Amino acid sequence: MTRISPAEPPYEPAIAAELARIMPPGVPPLVLFRTLAKSPRVFAKMFAGGLLDKGPLSLRQREIVIDRTTARLGCEYEWGVHVAFFADRVGFKAEHVAATAAGPGNVACWTEEEQALIALVDDLVDRRAILPATWTQLAAHFDETQILEAIALVGYYHTISFLCVGLELPLESYAARFPATAPPRSR
């Protein structure tokens, strides 16, 4: 059980409207969203800062950054939700999904530009800095707005991972599970 019980309907009108806007039809609100709803201020600030709208990265590039970040931080909850909702939409095969969760970033299933995004995530998670070689690799494939977006995604999903892991959220029933080669789920 989560450390803070998720909000239950009926929700405050502003929260109900936001939940209806962001959730696919017929899918109940995520435990994460319902838990954040216990603090309307945190809920509003997190959604105001969200990066799931159309930005300068493609949907596939965005999902590589999000999936790699959440997996590297041991956040099976958020990784599994994103894999469930987006993996097919962005053309991930089983090898892509597994490679977001574990292993080196330069495996053959990724293009050079995708490897640059994974190197960025790995640098920021491991070093909280970007190595010169990684920056050179990024700059060869992405413009400044795309690089800024990628860095912001890593930071935002670091925060989301902290929330999920810190609250000990139970996994969504339909979400993907880490492959056996992934880091252990953080607790």
Establish if 181 belongs to a structural domain. Answer: no
Name the residue range of residue 25's domain: 13-48
- Dump the DSSP string for 126-154: HHSS--HHHHHHHHHH--HHHHHHHHHHH
Q: Are 77 and 148 contained in the same domain? A: yes
Q: Are 39 and 83 contained in the same domain? A: no
Q: Are 71 and 24 contained in the same domain? A: no
HSE (CB half, 13 Å, CA atoms) of 112?
Answer: 7
Establish if 75 belongs to a structural domain. Answer: yes
Domain at 116, CATH number:
1.20.1290.10
The number of distinct structural domains making up the chain is: 2
Q: Are 21 and 92 contained in the same domain? A: no
94: left (phi > 0), else alpha (psi -120 to 50), else beta?
alpha
Establish if 124 belongs to a structural domain. Answer: yes
For residue 49, what are its two tokens? 């800062």
Q: Are 101 and 123 contained in the same domain? A: yes
Q: Are 81 and 162 contained in the same domain? A: yes
Q: Are 24 and 66 contained in the same domain? A: no
Per-residue pLDDT of the chain (187 residues; tens, 9 = 90+): 679 999 999 999 999 999 998 888 999 999 999 999 999 999 988 887 776 778 899 999 999 999 999 999 999 999 999 999 999 999 999 999 999 999 888 999 999 999 999 999 999 999 999 999 999 999 999 999 999 999 999 999 999 999 999 999 999 999 999 998 766 655 4
Q: Are 33 and 116 contained in the same domain? A: no
Q: Are 41 and 69 contained in the same domain? A: no
For residue 88, what are its two tokens? 């097919």
Q: Are 124 and 64 contained in the same domain? A: yes
Q: Are 97 and 28 contained in the same domain? A: no
pTM: 0.93
